[in-house]
Amino acid sequence: MNDSLNLLASGRRSQIAWFAIVLVAVCMSPLAAQSKLDSRRFHYPPTAKQEILDDYHGTRVADPYRWLEDVESDQTSRWVTSQNKLTFDYLAGLPQRTTIRQRLTEVWNFERYGFPVQRKEQFFYTHNNGLQNQSSIYVADGIHAEKRMLLDANGLSQDGTIALAEWKLSDDGSWLAYAIADGGSDWRTWRVRDTRTGRDTADEIRWVKFSEVAWTADNKGFFYSRYDEPSAKQELSGANYFQKLYYHKLGSPQSEDRLVYRRDDFKEWGFRSEVTEDGRFLIISVWRGTENNNQVFYIELTDATWTVRELVAGFDAEYTFLGNDGSLFYFMTDSAAPRRRVIAVDITRSARAAWKEIVPQALETIQSASLFQDQLLLTYLKDACHEVRLFGINGQSRGLLELPGLGTVDGFQGKRSSQQIFYSFTNYITPPTVYRYEISGGESSLWRAPKLPFNAADFTTERIFYESRDGTRIPMIVSSKKGILKDGNNRTLLYGYGGFDISITPNFSPAHLVWMELGGIYAVPNLRGGGEYGRAWHEAGMLDKKQNVFDDYIAAAEHLIAQKYTCSSQLAISGRSNGGLLVGASMTQRPDLFAVALPAVGVMDMLRYHKFTIGWAWVNEFGSSDDARHFAHIYKYSPLHNLREGTCYPATLVTTADRDDRVVPGHSFKFAARLQACQSCNKPALIRIETRAGHGAGTPVSKLIDQAADTWAFVLDNLEK
């Protein structure tokens, strides 16, 4: 559920007009602030209530807005229309919005490149010329040769709401399997294009979700995982269970695909498949929900029966397949190593006592691992920034990969036999720059660097540490324009996530750049629940320890105030998905601490989240209200259920999308309705509902710009001036 914006920026024009909208931030007295708020009134559309009372292990809980869970009903549609009218009329009237949108458009307008994938002498990669809604796939006859379009993603729909979600080339580069996502949904439809002719075949694979494809070495077909076709009314809200693994042969209809593996006795199991580079084995990673434990099964593809064999069973730890030398399989794992290590397992002698440790656990957590030639590239997390260490296949250290500074590294993908691979570096003030790494020489060279319309030297980033409520030391990265005084008067955006073992590392966002150009501070703490310090850090923020995450976030806000970065009346909080839950819980627990709250696509109803789409998969992280022990701690922080009438909450802009089938929009609908009923002061409690969009992935650039313009205009209008 990770939702970080990883987009670039460019354009340095109209600076005089732009900076004319920057206002000096001054913390007002409570009396002055109330005087400002009294000057406006919000008349919210009426929201009907139902007499619904549920019994949770002896505790009776009202659910008056349950009808809003039915996102397909006419009644909900009318509610959405009326709420959007109120919100968009308000946003359209904000004088800052037009100028902000103009600057965002300038910043977003730059070329973006994906990592090249090599097949023989050809290179395939994505490219966006700047303001195109989607990135398209191109091919070139050399890494520096002129590119030509292979697949025009912007031709999939007029408004850009049908996105190219994933793509995978066959081993010989003759075939491109690509997945499209319609209107932001997690459902994928896979098609196949002949790279020699540029034409699609008749192959079409539907009802795929949470699955890539794995081509066989003979280039004749691929493996994939899918769910059964849902009923029409359950497509975007029905629970997803019983994923099945199939093989598709090119040129045949999906109805003839070979069922490879299913487990009717375990409805939660899912299957991620990967064909080894030598073509001998299919590696099946068996996942169960979002827990960071998996099983590893395999098939010997030379055996026509395709018998599934268990290699690592029991969901005892995390195992990521890296490659193989015949029967010797290499894995990154946290088995007996909570900060991860690299091991080798011979499938002919697979008892745990025979496992060989290649790279032992270190003080820092391994974030990712790749195997090329006889070299391991391991990306470590060191206080929430990346460090790449090189090792031989025998585990011998070969030093560090030199990076431009503190930030985030991505890439290192490709065949083990590759002579060159690609990676990117970024941080909060450096857009992703793509480098080429030569395996044999161990040298990096620049491949693509975006041309920027701003001067990175005008901005600064610092890493600080603070103590949470229980004394735990938490890192936080603070970015801003240079020269900002710590006088307690700076507008500040505090972003957070804190969950699912996801590490929040520095990433560039044009929206956040614009925020900093407005004179804002952008602060990102690395909360417990993430993966920044290994398994123990994650587990310290899940299940009955979830309150630690909220405490860490609240402590970050208090530290920023105590250290004179900002004050409560200049502080906005933001988070998406699990981060939306974070914002919802924090604003209900400490409504006095923040001026503005921006919960996006959040999990707000903690008592019913597991009843929709893939929500059941999060029970490992949150717990379930069906369990009396879990209910006791979930109910204490569930944002929907901790809103209290007669309370003055921060100015709130709830955001969601009508086709979000990851965190269904009913969460945000119910929360907004309840917040409007409870709000005791004139701070707005609004909801912005995007249409033809989903949880975030594949959102057209035009919509991203509009969302950011609306958000910053809302924040500026509700911070004290």
Active-site residues, by number, are 577, 695
- Give 528's DSSP letter: B
- Residue 98 vs residues 105, 512, 544, 706: alpha-carbon distances, Å: 11, 17, 45, 10
CB 213 within 8 A of CB 168: yes
- Residue 51 vs residues 48, 73, 105: alpha-carbon distances, Å: 10, 19, 47
Cα distance between residue 686 and residue 683, in whole Å: 10
Helix (H) or strand (E) holding 669: helix 666-678
What six digits make up the tokens of 504? 């929040």
Cβ contacts of 258 within 8 Å, gap of 6 or more: 246, 247, 249
Helices of type H across 199-323: none
In 97-135, DSSP assigns E strands to 112-113, 117-119, 122-128
CB 87 within 8 A of CB 93: no
SS3 of residue 672 by DSSP: helix
Among candidate residues 156, 210, 204, the one with its CA nearest the CA of residue 182:
156
Which residue pairs from 241-244 have beta carbons closer than 8 angstroms and sit at least 24 positions apart in sequence? 241/267, 241/268, 241/616, 242/267, 243/209, 243/210, 243/211, 243/269, 243/270, 243/271, 244/271
Among candidate residues 297, 292, 474, the one with its CA nearest the CA of residue 366:
292
Residue showing tokens 């003979």: 218
CB 321 within 8 A of CB 296: yes
Cα distance between residue 279 and residue 274, in whole Å: 10
- Residue 209 vs residues 180, 187, 257, 472: alpha-carbon distances, Å: 11, 5, 17, 38
Cα distance between residue 247 and residue 271, in whole Å: 13
What six digits make up the tokens of 468? 């949470």
What six digits make up the tokens of 10? 């460019």
What six digits make up the tokens of 57? 């292990």
What residue type is assigned to position 423 of the chain?
A: Y
Cα distance between residue 154 and residue 164, in whole Å: 9
Cα distance between residue 82 and residue 288, in whole Å: 40
SS3 of residue 238 by DSSP: coil
- Give 448's DSSP letter: E
What residue type is assigned to position 26 of the chain?
A: V
- For 323-333, b/e burial (b = at least 16 CB within 10 A) is bbeeeebbbbb
